[in-house]
């Protein structure tokens, strides 16, 4: 189902699993674009600018290969002040532009989508920023929820988990040196979280075992995706639920992107990457709007379709034609 014209086509199976409380949204840097925060590559560039140095030959080679975690690890080893100097600069860079229009709208939508019909919140992010908390403050009810920050993570099972998980840590307003050291930022940090200590790997493996996971805000070659999928592979077992990713593709590169995502064992939900991923953000907002209206939201789709079918349709409407809307009555039966 397409919620907006030209937006990603959300599979019926994902919609159904979501209504039944079996989906966890796993959120990356792309969801924070409207607030002026971008991806890992941008973050590395900004940190280098801030500390006033340029990449040496080894660092540049890692950067060009997209190994941004390795690049920062090398920087921490070579920079006076080491780890803390880099992370204090990270703190300065990750200041969201909260006055921008729609700065927290996507986060608010994901908070709605991540809340089950039983009112439990199950949401995961690898971002360090405060935007989910800020989005909650801006709601009429000033929504409150539990947070779980690495490495103190919950067991990802229905009866044992209610809250937002900061899988790689988060930045409070005035972080201590200890807060900064606990962030999973460099290749050394990832090695600890996913290999030597393994707490992130255990969480991810259990998550895949118990839920359908939908990645949002990650690129195909994101280092974070690589660590997570490698962690799953090391369990020597297939996920018992589907793994989805909402991903953008450059013009004329849709099929190439589809093949690359599938090679990772992920079902791609693709959209054309333009206007800072606007098709992704608008889709999530519209989906959340319909979901929050419960049964009436699904009934509204059917009524809208009935009005439009006789007068022609857009691509958006076509995704809601009779065969595709077959999922709506099932969804409407859910509590």
Q: Which of 202, 116, 107 is nearest to 159 (CA)?
A: 116
Predicted pLDDT of residue 335:
41
pLDDT in tens, 144-197: 899 999 999 999 999 999 999 999 999 999 999 999 999 999 999 999 999 999
User: By mean pLDDT, which of 1-10, 276-285, 323-332 is the weakest?
Assistant: 323-332
Structural contact between residues 261 and 220, judged by C-beta atoms closer than 8 angstroms: yes
Predicted pLDDT of residue 324:
41
178 membership: H or E segment, kind and range: helix 177-181
What is the spatial distance between Cα 85 and Cα 9, in angstroms, rounded to a whole number? Answer: 44
Name the phi and psi angles at 165, rounded to 5. Answer: -100, 120
Structural contact between residues 169 and 126, judged by C-beta atoms closer than 8 angstroms: no
Predicted pLDDT of residue 332:
43
Instruction: Select the more confidently predicted residue: 300 or 53.
Output: 53
Please compute the mean of the pLDDT values over residues 293-317 and round it to a whole number: 57
Q: Which of 280, 239, 227 is nearest to 2 (CA)?
A: 280
* Structure-token match 């280098």, residue found: 48
Structural contact between residues 114 and 24, judged by C-beta atoms closer than 8 angstroms: yes
Predicted pLDDT of residue 247:
96
Predicted pLDDT of residue 214:
98
Structural contact between residues 171 and 125, judged by C-beta atoms closer than 8 angstroms: no
Report residue 234's pLDDT band, with 50, 70 and 90 as the boundaries: confident
pLDDT in tens, 13-46: 999 999 999 999 999 999 999 999 999 999 999 9
Is the pTM higher than 0.85?
A: yes
Structural contact between residues 181 and 164, judged by C-beta atoms closer than 8 angstroms: no
Predicted pLDDT of residue 306:
55
pLDDT exceeds 80 at position 47: yes
Predicted pLDDT of residue 101:
93
Report residue 303's pLDDT band, with 50, 70 and 90 as the boundaries: low
């Amino acid at each position: 189902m397409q919620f907006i014209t030209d937006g990603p086509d959300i599979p019926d199976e994902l919609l159904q699993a979501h209504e039944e409380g079996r989906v966890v949204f796993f959120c990356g840097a792309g969801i924070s674009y409207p607030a002026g925060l971008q991806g890992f590559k941008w973050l590395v560039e900004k940190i280098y600018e801030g500390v006033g140095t340029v990449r040496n030959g080894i660092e540049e080679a890692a950067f060009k290969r997209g190994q941004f975690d390795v690049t920062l690890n090398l920087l921490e080893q070579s920079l006076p002040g080491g780890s803390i100097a880099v992370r204090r600069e990270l703190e300065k860079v990750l200041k969201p532009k909260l006055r921008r229009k729609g700065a927290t709208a996507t986060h608010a939508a994901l908070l709605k989508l991540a809340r089950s019909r039983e009112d439990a919140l199950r949401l995961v992010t690898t971002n360090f920023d405060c935007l989910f908390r800020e989005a909650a403050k801006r709601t009429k009810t000033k929504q409150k929820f539990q947070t779980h920050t690495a490495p103190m993570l919950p067991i990802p099972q229905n009866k044992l988990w209610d809250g937002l998980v900061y899988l790689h840590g988060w930045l409070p307003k005035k972080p201590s040196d200890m807060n900064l050291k606990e962030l999973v930022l460099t290749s050394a940090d990832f090695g600890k979280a996913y290999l030597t200590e393994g707490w992130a790997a255990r969480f991810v493996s259990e998550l895949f075992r118990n839920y359908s996971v939908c990645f949002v805000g990650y690129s195909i070659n994101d280092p974070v995706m690589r660590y997570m999928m490698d962690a799953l592979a090391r369990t020597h077992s297939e996920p018992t639920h589907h793994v989805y990713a909402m991903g953008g593709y450059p013009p004329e590169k849709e099929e190439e992107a589809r093949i690359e995502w599938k090679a990772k064992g992920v079902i791609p939900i693709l959209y054309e990457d333009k206007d800072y991923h606007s098709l992704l953000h608008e889709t999530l907002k519209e989906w959340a709007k319909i979901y929050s209206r419960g049964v009436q939201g699904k009934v509204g789709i059917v009524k809208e379709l009935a009005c439009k079918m006789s007068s022609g349709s857009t691509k958006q409407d076509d995704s809601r034609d009779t065969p595709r809307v077959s999922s709506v009555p099932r969804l409407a039966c859910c509590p």
